[in-house]
A and B are shown apart, each in its own frame.
Chain A
């Protein structure tokens, strides 16, 4: 279908320390005991997109990710790993691999997106309108109990910072305005020209940009070449394209439809004009055409390009893993409501308790839990709405609620872990109480300590 897929897998992430480290880059962060990148790759494989380019920041990270991908998806996908320097931003990453892109349209997927929206929907919308860019929007996910407690005057400003302001046309097809939360302080500035052309704009703050874009390759490459300073697709390139959709001065030398001008006879030119006029007259005119006409009705030389949106239906699940809160939420959702995402992503059978975890006596494991294989849980434990990785040794009288425990963790007796993330190879000694904490990899928590809302990490040597 002439689409090329690029997966931006990132590398390290400042939001997610101490969870990510050199050995465990962000794409391999486990969600329900599977790396988060596997959800994206699995979805692409299910939609029959077998040729991918995965972009990873950092050479070492690229090696680690590449090794994992070739191990897991060995015959099912054909993946090309591209390593780019760190901190180059998403736009920079695309610039770096620009010479690999050959197809007519590029589908850019963020590697930390966990969703069940078919990428074909975005692609079909893109093709139908012949758009320059199509973005996928989804409703903002309801966040977990950690955040819902804070509401009230002084926190409203913080909450507003998370929202995006998105302007859509009345038919909900075209993107008129996009502003991320960071830019909005008190007022939002709207472009007048676009508003005048459309007539009516609907402003939504309950939608978020899901970071799955379909770009026309020529447009994308031109914008990236022209604007060297653009670092991020989401914050620079997309708003630029949306702002300039009625006066694409950068793209004004591009003829629409890519007509072959080899035949220079006047008659054939006339015929082309005729034919394109018939086609243009028949289709529903969008505000782009109206605005590109001069007052006397003739088409002006200004070119327009279309920025379309695809709004994911409310029934679908779409969350990005870009904060610790999101990490906890996704873990909870994937084992809970959205467990259709799990089927088939790995060779484990469908039941949530993998083979051979050993449960002690009087141990209760609640619903929506996940236990990896080889884990041992002692007596009188309670595990509720949590994910426990492989080869963990959990002692007795341990209470694990609403948490994520990764592989090879040793938890001593009498611990209480609540709302926390415990990374691999961590040792928690006896009677440790963790509440809303994040424990980095390889850390040792001394016995009897109590931590609340802290982030514990091993000091880098």
Chain B
């Protein structure tokens, strides 16, 4: 008997948190329930997968040798999608060219990282809104919302949404829904575009500047800072601290298969910071000389769990064991009401073949010559994200200040209303 897919973002969570404020906040809760994104599709539910396949624009690849435990996650869109999408380039009428371009960039991995993906998507939506014109006999609100919904489904098929993107889409849809009906079309479009600009400026750009200032106060001269992977906020913090004259050195920890730290390393070294580069296997050897750990996050959940690039949990755990403070730097728009206890129930799968190849080392190819019979017994797993429990985090630096992990639900509750009600 198959269980119906669970509603992932919990109205039960929201209502338990708001239990004390029942009277005043009832209408707000109801609105929040309406705005919650639809339940995520569980990919081990056959009937839903088939229905989605029929509705989708892209070819779903065949599921091949997937790990049992992660079968509920959407399979990785490997490179075979790209030719199919390319051949359909001129046939997708509903798709705006900039949305298409952003989708292609997600699919090929040209754009990655929560902030960058969110900004790229919002800018593409801005252009789509500018080129939009209401068809006759339809209202702007409903038609534009459904168009944006179409764009979002396309982007999801290219690559599953990140939390930051999900929050941004929710913001945009609520802004569209709140447009007064008396506005003319050009005024409405201009208002929406300026709202998007304001979102980017306030929630990302200004937030980053505030985070820079806060975090730089935590860096002292003579510090050895450790960072993992490639987070744009952490990189900005390091560069800013270097500019204002603090003396420190950086240890960049990297991991296969993405090797994102190399790009960050190149940029840091180009600016003159003294850096050390190592991989995740050496984390416990390096940690004894580290004084602070700075990590970025894709999202932070309501119980303080940090959802970030896979490997972050290990770094935080080792740092905790060595009594090194861990600072997570994350803008507040990435917070989410969801509660997640492990890395399994919600994650993203990457390309399994990337795990079996080491770039630049052609001689390390032990998995290339397996027979098909052997391949049946081997399942390759490439997870993109993991969840770090809040016990390992010392402080979270956000644009609302430096808060302990237990204060995240407060920010979600108090400040989430702000952009829903404006």
Contacts and interface: CB of A to CB of B under 8 A. Distances in A.
B110 interface: yes
Given A1-B90, A271-B201, A127 B101 contact: yes
A367 B272 CA distance: 71
Interface residues of A, number: 32
B90 A283 contact: no
A127 B102 CA distance: 9
B212 to A, nearest CB: 11
Interface stretch (A69-77, A85-93, A118-126): A118-126
Contacts of A256: none
Interface string A269-294: 00100110011011111000000010
A14 to B, nearest CB: 34
B30 to A, nearest CB: 35
A281 B263 contact: yes
Nearest to B208: A274
A285 B109 CA distance: 12
Interface string B98-109: 001100110011
A119 B90 contact: yes
A128 interface: yes
Contact of A282 (B97, B108, B117): B117
A48 interface: yes
A47 interface: yes
Interface in B155-210: 200-201, 204-205, 208
B271 interface: yes
B104 A128 contact: yes
A1 B100 contact: yes
B90 A48 contact: yes
Contacts, number: 101
Contacts of A284: 109-110, 263
B418 interface: no
Contacts of B267: 281, 297
A274 B112 CA distance: 17
Interface in B95-150: 97, 100-101, 104-105, 108-113, 115-117, 119-120
A48 B91 contact: yes
Contact of A2 (B85, B97, B200, B263): B97
B89 A278 contact: no
B113 A124 contact: no
Interface string B304-345: 000000000000000000000000000000000000000000
A296 interface: yes
Contacts of B91: 47-48, 120
B235 interface: yes
Q: Binding site of B, secondary structure by majority: helix, strand, loop or mixed? A: helix
B89 A282 contact: no
Contact of A127 (B104, B116, B204, B272): B104
Given A271-B205, A274-B208, A282 B113 contact: yes
B12 to A, nearest CB: 35
Contact of B110 (A2, A118, A128): A128
A3 B266 CA distance: 37
Given A3-B90, A274-B208, A282-B232, A124 B85 contact: yes
A130 B104 CA distance: 11
Contacts of B90: 1, 3, 47-49, 119-120, 123
A406 B256 CA distance: 62
Contacts of B82: 124
B367 to A, nearest CB: 22
Interface in B73-93: 82-83, 85-91
Contact of B270 (A125, A128, A293): A293
Contact of B86 (A120, A274, A279, A296): A120
Contacts of A297: 267, 270-272
Contacts of B110: 128-129, 283-284
Nearest to B93: A48
A121 B82 CA distance: 9
A393 B204 CA distance: 78
Nearest to A274: B205
A313 B346 CA distance: 37
A283 B116 contact: yes
Contacts of A275: 119, 200, 204-205
A451 B115 CA distance: 73
A121 B89 contact: yes
A457 B204 CA distance: 73
A121 B83 contact: yes
B101 A128 contact: yes
A221 B88 CA distance: 28
A296 B89 contact: no
Contacts of A124: 82, 85-86, 89, 100, 104
B118 to A, nearest CB: 9
B108 A123 contact: no
A453 B115 CA distance: 67
B100 A281 contact: no
Interface string B198-241: 00110011001000000000000000000000101001000000
Contacts of A48: 90-91
A127 B200 contact: no
Contacts of A278: 113, 115-116, 119, 204, 232
Given A121-B83, A297-B270, A279 B116 contact: yes
A130 to B, nearest CB: 8
A255 to B, nearest CB: 16
A2 B113 CA distance: 28
Nearest to B109: A284
Contacts of A313: 83
A124 B90 CA distance: 9
A89 B120 CA distance: 40
B230 to A, nearest CB: 8
Interface in B227-274: 230, 232, 235, 263, 266-267, 270-272
A276 to B, nearest CB: 9
Contacts of B271: 297
Given A127-B101, A271-B205, A275-B205, A1 B117 contact: no
A120 B89 contact: yes
Contacts of B119: 275, 278-279
A225 to B, nearest CB: 26
A11 B49 CA distance: 54
A166 to B, nearest CB: 21
A279 B110 CA distance: 10
Contacts of B235: 281
Interface string A82-110: 00000000000000000000001000000
Given A283-B111, A296-B270, A125 B116 contact: no
A300 to B, nearest CB: 13
Contacts of B232: 278, 281-282
Contact of A118 (B89, B111, B266): B89
Interface in A245-287: 271, 274-275, 278-279, 281-285
Interface in A355-401: none
9 contacts: A47-B90, A118-B89, A120-B87, A275-B200, A281-B230, A281-B263, A282-B112, A293-B270, A297-B267
Given A47-B91, A279-B111, A282-B111, 8 more contacts: A118-B86, A120-B88, A120-B90, A121-B87, A123-B89, A274-B208, A282-B117, A285-B266
Closest 9 CB pairs of A and B: A120-B89, A282-B116, A297-B270, A121-B86, A124-B86, A282-B113, A118-B87, A128-B104, A48-B90
